[in-house]
Amino acid sequence: MQITILTGAGISAESGIPTFRGTGGLWEGQRVEDVATHEAWLRDKQFVLDFYNQRRQAVKKAQPNKAHLALAALQKHHHIQIITQNIDDLHERAGSENVMHLHGEIFKSRSERNNNLISICNDDINLGDVAEDGAQLRPHIVWFGEEVPMLEPAIALTELSDIVVIIGTSMLVYPAASLLHYAPEGTPIYIINPQIPDMQKKSNYTFIEKNASDGVEEFIADILKIN
């Protein structure tokens, strides 16, 4: 049985990483749309680099929480495929093996000229740091308006789902938010979020109105009953 887990910023909130659209905003009052775009990059590369350098430092200090760990433990019993919008590595550090990042990874950088020149990046990126083609390094992140190269593989994996669980995402960013529609008709869909996103409830949907760690615990208890 394949359980496909779609995660967003809310799953990392209990690890101390702020969500994008929560109260207080993400970063000194900046809306993510104002820094996570190619236009912002062209306008002020230092500003964008500072933003992501700060994110990288914050992720380094964070630890996987009970939700990340419980999902990793579930691998012992089921085929678990995680598709995350998050750029942090907390699923991997919790021990999850099948993790696909839809929006890129904070611990990778790439050439601003060639999307395929990707390298590991554990420290700050500075102006003047270049890729092997001599172009400025930028974070390996999908910005608003850019293509989502992992979308097709994510759709293909979602089509194989026996159960889909959606955790901690506002479901406001497309195409990520449309992924659940690729699950086979009638697939049980669980939505875990302390503030359930505005969506039409279908008969195969179960809303678990809780934070990620409590919600994942409830979901696991639920599927253990089935199996």
Q: Point out which span in 10-18, 56-64, 70-78, 108-116 binds ligand OAD (CB under 6 A).
A: 10-18
Amino acid at 201: K
The answer to whether residue 139 forms part of the interface with ligand OAD (CB under 6 A) is no
Amino acid at 108: K
Q: How many residues make contact with ligand OAD (CB under 6 A)?
A: 26
The CB-of-202 to ligand OAD minimum distance in angstroms stands at: 19
Residues sharing a CB contact under 8 Å with residue 184, sequence separation 6 or more, in sequence order: 159, 161
Name the token pair of 24.
Answer: 């207080």
Q: Which of 193, 208, 216, 219 binds ligand OAD (CB under 6 A)?
A: 193
Element (H, E) at 34: helix 32-35
The CB-of-32 to ligand OAD minimum distance in angstroms stands at: 4
The answer to whether residue 168 forms part of the interface with ligand OAD (CB under 6 A) is yes
Distance CA 14, CA 66 (A): 9
Q: Point out which span in 54-62, 169-177, 183-191, 217-225 binds ligand OAD (CB under 6 A).
A: 169-177
Distance CA 104, CA 87 (A): 6
Q: Which of 5, 32, 208, 216 binds ligand OAD (CB under 6 A)?
A: 32
Closest C-alpha to 116, from 98, 100, 93, 132:
132
Q: Which of 3, 4, 10, 88 binds ligand OAD (CB under 6 A)?
A: 10
Q: Taking CB under 6 A as the rule, which mask of x and - marks residues 86-115 in contact with ligand OAD?
A: -----------------x------------
Burial 149-177 (b: 16+ CB within 10 A, else e): ebbeebeebbeebebbbbbbbbbebeebb
Rg of the chain, C-alpha, whole Å: 18
Q: Which of 3, 5, 6, 13 binds ligand OAD (CB under 6 A)?
A: 13
**Which positions are annotated as active-site residues?**
103
Distance of CA 46 to the CA centre of its chain: 24
Q: Point out which span in 38-46, 54-62, 126-134, 189-197 binds ligand OAD (CB under 6 A).
A: 189-197
Q: Point out which span in 45-53, 90-98, 153-161, 190-198 binds ligand OAD (CB under 6 A).
A: 190-198
The answer to whether residue 64 forms part of the interface with ligand OAD (CB under 6 A) is no
Phi, psi of 98 (to 5 degrees): -105, 90
Full strand arrangement of the beta sheet holding 137-141: 118-120, 104-111, 137-141
Distance CA 12, CA 189 (A): 21
Name the residues that contact ligand OAD, by CB under 6 A.
8-11, 13-14, 19-22, 32, 36, 85, 103, 142, 168-170, 172-173, 193-195, 197, 211-212
